[in-house]
Amino acid sequence: MKILLAVDGSACSDAAVDEVANRPWPKSSTVRVLNTYEFPLPPTPEGWALPATYFDEMDQAIRTQSQAIVNQAADKLRTKLDRTMEVVSQSVPGPPRAVILDEAESWGADLIVIGSHGYGRLERLFLGSVSQSVVSHAKCSVEVVRCRQANEKEKK
């Protein structure tokens, strides 16, 4: 079985990692831990207002953070999952919705596991919902893991 686990380093993402780690999977399954990242737009339209190294430093910081997120999730899975399972990690640039769907399709994933931030209606309107988009457009099964932190936030 091929399981694509999309992570972003949040508490809800950690809940998805725990869900995958604590479930029995068929022998010789593969978990592919995926994080996506996007480069921020310049804070000002004037290029001269930024140091010459700004974009290189920002690029390196984002890539390093993304790799740390997937490494942490992959390490946790390796310690908890059956030894016959393969755990691989990948950090890919691009918008999360598109990258998750593209990677799942090109890899031939059987299941996508993703955490839900539990945004309310207004937050979803402005920020969008990656998990909702993945559920709506994926060509394989999708499991959305809700975390307690998001559920408690909705009650307030």
User: In which band, very low, low, confident or very high, does the pLDDT at 45 lie, cut at 50, 70 and 90?
Assistant: low
How many helices, marked H, and strands, marked E, lie in the chain?
6, 5
The whole-number pLDDT of residue 127 equals: 47
Judged against a pLDDT cut of 50, whether residue 115 lies above it is answered with yes
Pairing of strands 30-37, 111-116: unpaired
The whole-number pLDDT of residue 156 equals: 46
- Model confidence over 52-84: pLDDT tens digits? 788 888 889 999 999 999 999 999 999 999 888
Coil/strand/helix, residue 143: strand
The whole-number pLDDT of residue 120 equals: 58
> Could you give the C-alpha distances from 46 to 29, 39, 49, in angstroms and in order?
50, 17, 6
Judged against a pLDDT cut of 50, whether residue 105 lies above it is answered with yes
- Model confidence over 19-28: pLDDT tens digits? 999 999 999 9
- Fold classification of 2-43+51-155 (topology level): Rossmann fold (3.40.50)
Structure tokens at 125: 């309107």
Of 92-106, 109-123, 128-142, where does mean pLDDT reach its minimum?
A: 109-123
- For the entire predicted model, the pTM comes to 0.85
Domain segments of the chain as ranges: 2-43+51-155
With DSSP H G I counted as helix, E B as strand and the rest as coil, what are the percentages for the chain, rounded to 5?
A: 50, 20, 30
The whole-number pLDDT of residue 42 equals: 62
User: In which band, very low, low, confident or very high, does the pLDDT at 155 lie, cut at 50, 70 and 90?
Assistant: very low
Judged against a pLDDT cut of 50, whether residue 154 lies above it is answered with no
E strand or H helix that includes residue 67: helix 54-80
Do 4 and 109 meet the contact criterion of CB atoms below 8 Å apart?
Answer: yes
Q: Mean per-residue pLDDT for 82-106?
A: 94
Q: Mean per-residue pLDDT for 111-129?
A: 68
